[in-house]
Amino acid sequence: MELSLNTTLMLVERLIAVAVILQTSEMFAIRESFSDDGVWSWSVLKDEFEFFPGPVRFFLDLTLAYPNFLVVLFLRILAASVALMLSHAVLVFTLLLTSVLVCLRWRGVFNGGSDYMTVVVLLALLLARLFPESHLVGLGCLLYIALQLLSSFFIAGVVKLKRVNWRSGRALGGFLCSGIYPVSPLLRAFAEKPALLACLSWSIILFEVLFPLSLLNQSICLLFIITALLFHVANVYMFGLNRFLFAWGAAYPALYYCSGVSWS
């Protein structure tokens, strides 16, 4: 399957728009938690930003206090909905700015990795949209997304490889039994089988460490992407990390495109 540079950029843009729509819809659903009576009340949180200069504090007060923050979320979902049909730097900039504001509202990040990947994709897309005529900038942006994507697996794999708990399977057993979902008897039984855990641990480590091989060509890349998607679905089932599926899903077309470029 051949994808042109522009088609790939458009695909990445549409997919990240879908991810942002889902993320923002979830945030609307938990709006009570950042209202004035909620856990993350701005009246408490704003003390965290006291060291910023006055104009920045004014801007943050204006955008992050409740109910103004709902307007930010509305703007975010509106920009993402339009980005499903149109490509424009202003739309991507709006998505990037509102994504950073959402992270600030939760003291840096709301959901860790998925926020990182969303911002990585939006930053690269913004640059590509600011220079729509430049093939080189477009290619650089896709390469940046692809390298961050490779790093996300590769670094996660290498740090696991260093840990004896991962190599023995003990870490995986511990993680499986400490998520946000209750541990079923079946899962508990699985977590108590060291040989199975070690086998699965090594599969995960090898998959993550070998992920850079996906750059070699598009057939290998497709194989890695399909495995990665299954890996994401397993993570949703085990740990409830659904936002990762969509944030990473938006980045895969960039990797696929880069794996097909002849770099010689």
Partner 1 sequence: MFEISLSSYLLLTLYLAAAAFLLFFRTRYVPGRAIYLFRVLFPSWRFFEDLCELPVLYHRVRAADGAFGPWRKSLSSDRRHLYKLLFNAEGNKLLAYQGLLQQVENDMQSVTEGSEAEFASSVSYRLLERLVRKQIPRSELPEGEGPVFFQFRLSSLMQGEAESSATEILISLEHEY
Q: Site for partner 1 (CB under 8 A): which residue of 45, 64, 125, 126?
A: 45
C-beta of 132 vs 194, nearer to partner 1: 194
Q: Does 190 bind partner 1 (CB under 8 A)?
A: no
Q: Does 26 bind partner 1 (CB under 8 A)?
A: yes
Q: Does 44 bind partner 1 (CB under 8 A)?
A: yes
Here the tokens at position 103 are 């992270």
Q: Does 202 bind partner 1 (CB under 8 A)?
A: no
Q: Site for partner 1 (CB under 8 A): which residue of 93, 116, 190, 202?
A: 116
Q: Site for partner 1 (CB under 8 A): which residue of 62, 159, 206, 226?
A: 159
Q: Is the dihedral of CA 235, 242, 91, 75 positive or negative?
A: negative
Here the tokens at position 246 are 């969509």
Q: Does 197 bind partner 1 (CB under 8 A)?
A: no
Q: How many CB atoms lie within 10 A of CB 216?
A: 11
AA identity, residue 261: V
Q: List alpha helices for 84-134, DSSP H.
A: 89-105, 113-130
Here the tokens at position 207 are 């998959």
Q: Looking only at residues 93 through 112 of this chain, which bind partner 1 when binding is defined by CB under 8 A?
A: 99-100, 103-104, 106-112
C-beta of 67 vs 240, nearer to partner 1: 240
Q: Does 203 bind partner 1 (CB under 8 A)?
A: no
C-beta of 133 vs 182, nearer to partner 1: 182
DSSP class of 38: S
Q: Does 170 bind partner 1 (CB under 8 A)?
A: yes
CB distance 120 to 244 below 8 Å: no
Number of residues that bind partner 1 (CB under 8 A): 81
C-beta of 6 vs 33, nearer to partner 1: 33
Q: Phi and psi (nearest 5°) for 132?
A: -65, -20
Here the tokens at position 190 are 């699985």
Q: Is the dihedral of CA 235, 237, 242, 247 positive or negative?
A: positive
Q: Does 6 bind partner 1 (CB under 8 A)?
A: no
Here the tokens at position 248 are 């990473």
Minimum distance of partner 1 from residue 103's CB (angstroms): 4
Q: Does 9 bind partner 1 (CB under 8 A)?
A: no
Q: Site for partner 1 (CB under 8 A): which residue of 3, 10, 11, 41?
A: 41
CA-only gyration radius of the chain, Å:
20
Here the tokens at position 229 are 């998607």
Q: Does 127 bind partner 1 (CB under 8 A)?
A: no
- Those residues with Cβ within 8 angstroms of residue 92's Cβ, 6 or more apart along the chain or in another chain: 13, 83, 122, 125, 126, 129
C-beta of 2 vs 47, nearer to partner 1: 47
